[in-house]
Amino acid sequence: MRILLSLLVSFLSVTSLWAQAPFTVDDNRLFYGGLQLGMNFSQVDGDTYSGYHKVGVVGGGLVYVRPFKRLGFSLGLGYAQKGSNESDIRETAIGPAVFRYRIHLQYAEVPLLFHLFVPGKFHYSAGFAYSRLLASKEESEDINPINISPDLYPFKPQEISGIVGINYHIYGQWFALGQYQYSLTSIRSDPQIPPGYNTGSGHEYNNLFSLKLLYLIGSATAR
């Protein structure tokens, strides 16, 4: 984690030298830097459960490069929490009991996105992200909590995912980002999936929506 924070500080120091004001459709600058922070709403496809019940933090820094008026791309470096969080009430021999199952995954993430800039407040993005697993925790709780051993059922150390998104210019240097992200490579496969937590596909994938705020570094105001 310290290494990730050091890289992020260095990354943002460079972006602050490039970015003096937020971009507009008519702006002709090449580089823009920014900070983003938000929430992931996640599920793990293949774990027998559904619903975007796992809420986690996502954030980091990025650099926009805009060689053309309508087209550009961005490269980011950040931190993302993903996983699964399920609960319900089940009948047992001694009466109703609360069942919970949780997967908590922490990643260092490098997204590369391509952007389409159009007149107005919206622009659109699509691309890929490389993620490196920093930490994982998996637990099941029926009457008593059960810690599932990460040594017996490990998650893969890296992930490639696809991303599509829509971005809205709120005001000045602030933007709202909505993104959908899905694993293109599995995060875990048989026999590393715990018995009883597999849909039969033999693979698990991260599936999530993100809502973020983006602040473009600089002091000027967008038109």
Residue 47 φ/ψ, nearest 5 degrees: -100, 15
Asked if residue 169 belongs to a domain, the reply is yes
Question: What is the CATH number for 65?
Answer: 2.40.160.20
What CA–CA distance (Å, rounded) separates 146 from 108? 27
Query: How confident is the model at residue 93, as a pLDDT?
Result: 63
Q: Yes or no: say if 71 and 127 are a contact pair by the CB < 8 Å rule.
A: no
- Is residue 161, in this structure, part of any structural domain at all? yes
pLDDT for 97: 57
Q: What is the pLDDT of residues 63-110, one digit of tens each?
A: 988 888 889 999 999 999 999 998 776 666 665 655 788 999 999 999
- pLDDT > 70? residue 218: no
> What total of structural domains would you count in the chain?
1
pLDDT of 205 higher than 90: yes
Higher pLDDT, 50 or 15: 50
Look up the domain containing 106 and give its range.
Answer: 2-216
In a domain, 223, yes or no: no
The reported pTM is 0.82
C-alpha distance across the termini of the chain, in Å: 38
Return the pLDDT at 28.
63
pLDDT in tens, 25-66: 556 677 888 999 999 999 999 888 888 999 999 999 999 888
Copy the structure tokens of residue 70. Answer: 């309508």
31-45 and 145-147 strand pairing: unpaired
Answer whether 133's CB lies under 8 Å from 158's CB.
yes
Residue 97 belongs to a domain: yes
Note the pLDDT of residue 131. Answer: 98
Spatial neighbors of 27 by CB under 8 A, at least 6 apart, are 66
Distance CA 202, CA 123 (A): 37
Task: Look at residue 198 and tell me if it is in a domain.
Answer: yes
CB of 205 closer than 8 Å to CB of 30: no
Chain Cα centroid distance, residue 84: 13
Which residue is associated with the tokens 């709780």?
A: 141
Q: pLDDT tens across 102-136, in order?
A: 999 999 999 999 999 888 889 999 999 999 999 99
Residue 80 has which token pair?
A: 């993302």
Band of residue 149 on the pLDDT scale cut at 50, 70, 90: confident
Q: CA-CA distance, 99 to 143, in Å (whole number)? A: 7
Mean pLDDT throughout 129-149?
Answer: 86
Model confidence pLDDT, tens digit, residues 169-189: 998 889 999 999 999 999 999
- For residue 222, what pLDDT band results from cuts at 50, 70 and 90? very low
Residue 222 lies in a domain: no
Q: What are phi and psi of 75, to 5 degrees?
A: -125, 130
Alpha helices (runs of H) in the chain, residue ranges in sequence order: 2-18
* Spatial separation of the C-alpha atoms in residues 84 and 208, rounded to whole Å: 10
Residues 94, 98, 103: CA angle, nearest 5 degrees: 140
| For residue 2, pLDDT beyond 60 | no
Confidence of residue 165 (pLDDT cuts 50, 70, 90): very high
